[in-house]
Amino acid sequence: PKVSPLTNGAVTCTDPLGPSSYQSTCVFTCDEGYTLIGSKALQCQEDGIWNSSQPLCATVQCPALQELENGFTSCGDDVERKFSYGNSCNFSCAPGYHLVGSTTIMCTSAAVWTESAPRCAGESSLNLPLCAFQTVCSSFMTNVFGIFSPAITCKNPGGNAPLISECSHPLAELQPGSTCSFHCEAGFELQGAATIQCSGEGQWNKATPTCKATGCPVPVIPSNVQLSCSPAPSAPASAQHAQPIGMVCLFSCGEGHTLQGAYSMECVNPGKWSSDPPTC
C-alpha cells in the first residue's frame, strides 16, 4: 500500500519496480523541532507488505522546569506544550525578592532551553551601609548583628553522559569565580564552551555545552549495488569526512540480480554503520 503523508515531516521514496511495489523503499525525515518515532526507512517485501509500521514526528521536548522558589513561572495554558519546542516560559518573583537571570527562556529544536532558569534572590530589609571588604563585613554582620546572609552560588551546571564535567569546587559550593570544565566520552565531540565561570550574580557566564556523536565514514559498496542515502553523502569516501548520525542508506540491484544482505543501513552512535553493505 502507498505510504501516507508524514505530518510535520517529509517522505522520500524510490521505486525500482514501480510505485509502492516490491523493493520500493521510503525514507522519513521530520521538520525542525520534531523528532522521528519509529523506523527511519521502510521497504516493501515480496508479500506486498512494508517491513515495519509507518513512523510519526513528535514535538521535541525540553527538560521540565522546577517550580521557581519564591517566585512564579508561566509557560502558557496548553499543558501538553508546556515544555515543547518553540514554547516560552516567563518568570517573576514574589514581593521582597528580585529576579537573577532572564525573565523569559524558550525551548529550542535541540531540546535545550535558550538560557538557564533564573532564581529569586531576597532583598535585605535593613538599610546597612555597603562594606568595601565584603568577606570581613559579612562575617562581622553575622557575628555581631546575628544576620545570616546566604552566600551567592551557581547551580550545578548539569550535563549527563557522554558529557563529563570537572569543577574547581564541590557542586554545593560553586561561588563566584568557580569554574567548570567539560569534555566528552570517546566517540563524541564537544559542542559549546569547554569552560564556564560563575559570575558575581550567581549565574554561569555561558551555557552548559553538549556532546555530538562523531559521524560515519562514507560507505564503500560494490559497483553493481545501487545506493540511495538520505541525506546525500557530503563528500567522497574518505577517512577525513564523516557522515551525520541518523543517515539512512538504501540498497537495490539492477534487473536480473538479487540483493544478498541488508536492504538498508543507518549511521548510529558512536559513528558506526548498523550493518555491512550487501552484494548483488
b vs e for 59-90, b when ≥16 Cβ sit within 10 Å of the residue's Cβ? bbebeebeebeebeeebeeeeeebbbbebebe
**Residue 260 is part of a domain; what is its CATH number?**
2.10.70
Domain residues for the domain of 84 are 71-122
Residue 79, pLDDT above cutoff 60: yes
- DSSP-derived 3-state class of residue 143: helix
Q: Where are the alpha helices (DSSP H) in the chain?
A: 134-140
Residue 105, pLDDT above cutoff 80: yes
Higher pLDDT, 215 or 168: 168
Judged by phi (left if over 0) then psi (alpha if -120 to 50, else beta), residue 177 lies in left
With respect to residue 16, please indicate whether it lies within any of the assigned structural domains: yes
Mean pLDDT of 203-217: 85
CA distances from 1 to 14, 16, 51, 54, 55 (A): 14, 16, 12, 11, 15
- Is 195 in the same domain as 169? yes
Mean pLDDT of 164-188: 84
Higher pLDDT, 31 or 246: 31
* pLDDT class of 134 with cuts at 50, 70, 90: very low
- Is 168 in the same domain as 198? yes
Mean pLDDT check: name the lowest of 187-191, 230-234, 242-246: 230-234
Mean pLDDT of 41-60: 92
- Is 173 in the same domain as 207? yes
Higher pLDDT, 245 or 204: 204
pLDDT, position 268: 80
- Is 42 in the same domain as 83? no
With respect to residue 92, please indicate whether it lies within any of the assigned structural domains: yes
**CA 126 – CA 199 distance, rounded (Å):** 25
**CA 266 – CA 253 distance, rounded (Å):** 19
Is the pTM here over 0.75, yes or no? no
**Residue 23 is part of a domain; what is its CATH number?**
2.10.70.10
Mean pLDDT check: name the lowest of 8-17, 148-157, 227-236: 227-236
With respect to residue 218, please indicate whether it lies within any of the assigned structural domains: no
User: For residues 250 and 27, is the Cβ–Cβ distance under 8 A?
Assistant: yes
With respect to residue 118, please indicate whether it lies within any of the assigned structural domains: yes
In whole numbers, what is the pLDDT of the chain averaged over residues?
82
**CA 183 – CA 69 distance, rounded (Å):** 31
With respect to residue 131, please indicate whether it lies within any of the assigned structural domains: no
**Count of the separate structural domains present in the chain:** 4
With respect to residue 14, please indicate whether it lies within any of the assigned structural domains: yes
Residue 186, pLDDT above cutoff 60: yes
Order of strands across the sheet with 9-14?
9-14, 25-30, 41-43
Residue 129, pLDDT above cutoff 50: no
With respect to residue 141, please indicate whether it lies within any of the assigned structural domains: no
With respect to residue 258, please indicate whether it lies within any of the assigned structural domains: yes
pLDDT, position 187: 65
Mean pLDDT of 200-217: 85
Mean pLDDT check: name the lowest of 134-143, 177-186, 199-208: 134-143
Q: What is the pLDDT of residues 32-46, one digit of tens each?
A: 999 999 999 999 998
